[in-house]
């Protein structure tokens, strides 16, 4: 059984377009078997061979990119609990960077956001467990737990010398994706905060636009995608389409023909050409980058804030015969300009970094939002 797993593992690694002879392949399989046997015989502690094999499989997937990973049957079952926008946890979207767990963004109004976790933070310790060497999904599992219990996170933050420690209470996370209000001294600007691209976000978004239009003579819109980790591609396309009369929104390219597609805007700008400022930061990822990037490429909006995260790929969850699963990158996003978002993100037209230790999104101390409001009066 072990050899069968090893062979399957290496066929997965080398069944690409890269030339690799059968003799080389079998030599690598023999080498891998030799390493396992030496670990079994010589390693200082007793090991669980099943866990070692799981780690090896996960190592193959994570060597591809930060978003591909293996899920054991137990973990695969647990990971299917948060697909409808409600789940128990801390309220952070995380990814991997150089073997370390990195915060993509804290979700608004969740325990993590209220505790002060920021986009770009590195999680180095969860409770008493060191994170280095663990997979992304193992880290997620450690952070999950019964509602009402707390967990200690040790964080490394850019430009902060000492590690930061946070105690966060686990709660049921309910993601309400759209908030809106009228802002500006003359009360003529529409502010819409889009926290994620969940099911029905497009309907909530359009409803918010219509409500704002009936309340005031709206001069323009500030669309806030800061700390929005993304979500459904279809929602990103639908919401971007609100503001474009025509043209490409996004394209995806993969090895399969079915994963290589282009998506175009339909005629009709829901706000009839009114000016738009889109706010982004390092926590704006994936679908948020598609939205901001498309409006930037079409010169339909001014993008303001900080460079976005740079997650420009699509993952598919593939069930496995053992009851587990694998998350595998199957295609990449490309903006209308043809540029990839992966690892580079979207660069703002106007760079405005958050200022002050008391900075909070959508408050009087929000210098990025204040700058956006001034643009409409200049």
Q: Is the pLDDT of residue 202 over 60?
A: yes
The most distant pair of C-alpha atoms in the chain lies apart, rounded to whole Å, by 76
d(CA 327, CA 319): 9
The neighbour count for residue 185, using CB atoms within 10 Å, is 9
Residues of the chain with pLDDT > 70, as a percent, come to: 91
Instruction: Give one word for 347, left, alpha or beta, with left for phi > 0 and alpha for psi -120 to 50.
Output: beta
Q: Is the pLDDT of residue 189 over 60?
A: yes
Instruction: Say what the pLDDT of residue 9 is.
Output: 54
Q: Which of 68, 311, 313, 366 is catalytic?
A: 311
Average pLDDT, stretch 332-359? Answer: 92
Integer CA distances (angstroms), 258 to 68, 106, 251, 290, 347, in order: 20, 33, 12, 20, 30
2 pLDDT tier (thresholds 50, 70, 90): low
Query: Which distant-in-sequence residues (6+ apart) come within 8 Å of 88 by Cβ?
Result: 81, 144, 145, 146, 147, 170, 171, 172, 173
| Lowest-pLDDT choice from 25-29, 30-34, 229-233, 309-313 | 25-29
Check if 54 is active-site. Answer: no
Instruction: Say what the pLDDT of residue 178 is.
Output: 92
Q: Is the pLDDT of residue 18 over 60?
A: no
Query: Which distant-in-sequence residues (6+ apart) come within 8 Å of 179 by Cβ?
Result: 192, 193, 195, 208
Query: Which distant-in-sequence residues (6+ apart) come within 8 Å of 63 by Cβ?
Result: none
Among 1-5, 13-17, 245-249, 253-257, name the most confident range: 245-249
99 pLDDT tier (thresholds 50, 70, 90): confident
Instruction: Say what the pLDDT of residue 85 is.
Output: 46
More confident residue, 67 or 156: 156
- The closest of 246, 280, 272, 271 to 349, measured between CA atoms, is 280
**CATH second-level architecture of 178-314+329-375?**
Alpha-Beta Complex (3.90)
The neighbour count for residue 41, using CB atoms within 10 Å, is 7
d(CA 279, CA 288): 10
Q: Which of 108, 202, 297, 366 is catalytic?
A: 297
pLDDT in tens, 111-136: 998 999 998 899 999 999 888 877 77
Q: Which fold has domain 82-174?
A: Pdz3 Domain (2.30.42)
Instruction: Say what the pLDDT of residue 135 is.
Output: 78
Check if 33 is active-site. Answer: no
d(CA 125, CA 131): 5
Burial 210-236 (b: 16+ CB within 10 A, else e): eebeeeeebebbbbbbbbbbbbbbebb
Start-end ranges of CATH 2.30.42.10 in the chain? 82-174
Check if 311 is active-site. Answer: yes
Residues of the chain with pLDDT > 90, as a percent, come to: 52
Instruction: Give one word for 305, left, alpha or beta, with left for phi > 0 and alpha for psi -120 to 50.
Output: left
Instruction: Say what the pLDDT of residue 82 is.
Output: 46
d(CA 183, CA 375): 13
Beta bridge partners of 100: 97
pLDDT in tens, 229-275: 998 999 999 999 999 999 999 999 999 998 899 999 999 999 999 99
Instruction: Say what the pLDDT of residue 218 is.
Output: 95
DSSP 203: H
d(CA 145, CA 139): 12
Between strands 189-194 and 178-183, the pairing is antiparallel
Q: Which of 177, 284, 286, 288 is catalytic?
A: 286
Q: Is the pLDDT of residue 83 over 50?
A: no
Start-end ranges of CATH 3.90.226.10 in the chain? 178-314+329-375
Are 118 and 106 a contacting pair, CB within 8 Å? yes
Between strands 276-280 and 302-305, the pairing is parallel
Query: Which distant-in-sequence residues (6+ apart) come within 8 Å of 304 by Cβ?
Result: 277, 278, 279, 280, 348, 349, 350, 352, 368, 371, 372, 375
Taking the mean position of all CA atoms in its chain, how far away is CA 244? Answer: 25
Q: Is the pLDDT of residue 198 over 60?
A: yes
Are 283 and 229 a contacting pair, CB within 8 Å? yes
Instruction: Say what the pLDDT of residue 12 is.
Output: 53
């Amino acid at each position: 059984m072990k050899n069968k797993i090893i062979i399957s593992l290496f066929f997965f690694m080398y069944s690409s377009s890269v030339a690799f002879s059968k003799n080389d392949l079998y030599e690598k399989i023999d080498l891998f078997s030799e390493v396992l046997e030496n670990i079994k015989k010589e390693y200082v502690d007793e090991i669980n061979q099943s866990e070692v094999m799981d780690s090896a499989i996960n190592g193959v997937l994570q060597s591809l990119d930060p978003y591909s990973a293996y899920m054991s049957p137990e973990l695969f079952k647990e990971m299917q609990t948060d697909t409808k926008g409600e789940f128990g946890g801390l309220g952070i979207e995380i990814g991997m960077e150089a073997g370390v767990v990195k915060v993509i963004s804290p979700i608004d109004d969740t325990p993590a956001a209220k505790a002060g976790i920021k986009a770009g933070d590195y999680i180095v310790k969860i409770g008493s467990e060191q994170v280095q060497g663990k997979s992304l999904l193992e880290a997620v599992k450690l952070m999950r737990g019964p509602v009402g219990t707390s967990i200690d996170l040790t964080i490394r933050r850019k430009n902060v010398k000492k590690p930061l420690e946070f105690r966060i209470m686990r709660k049921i996370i309910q993601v309400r994706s759209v908030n809106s209000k009228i802002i500006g001294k003359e009360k003529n600007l529409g502010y819409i905060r889009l926290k994620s691209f969940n099911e029905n976000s497009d309907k909530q978004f359009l409803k918010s636009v219509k409500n704002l239009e009936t309340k005031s003579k709206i001069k323009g819109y500030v669309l806030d995608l800061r700390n929005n980790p993304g979500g459904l591609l279809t929602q990103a396309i639908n919401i971007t389409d609100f503001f474009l009369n025509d043209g490409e929104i996004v394209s995806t390219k993969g090895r399969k023909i079915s994963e290589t597609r282009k998506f175009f805007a339909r005629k009709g700008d829901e706000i009839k050409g009114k000016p738009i400022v889109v706010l982004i930061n390092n926590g704006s990822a994936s679908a948020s980058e598609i939205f901001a990037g498309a409006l930037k490429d079409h010169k339909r909006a001014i993008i303001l804030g900080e460079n976005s995260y740079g997650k420009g790929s699509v993952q598919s969850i593939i069930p496995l015969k053992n009851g587990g699963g694998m998350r595998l990158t199957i295609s990449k996003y490309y903006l209308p300009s043809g540029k990839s978002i992966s690892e580079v993100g979207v660069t703002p037209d106007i760079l405005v970094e958050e200022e002050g230790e008391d900075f909070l999104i959508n408050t009087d101390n929000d210098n990025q939002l204040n700058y956006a409001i001034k643009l409409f009066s200049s």
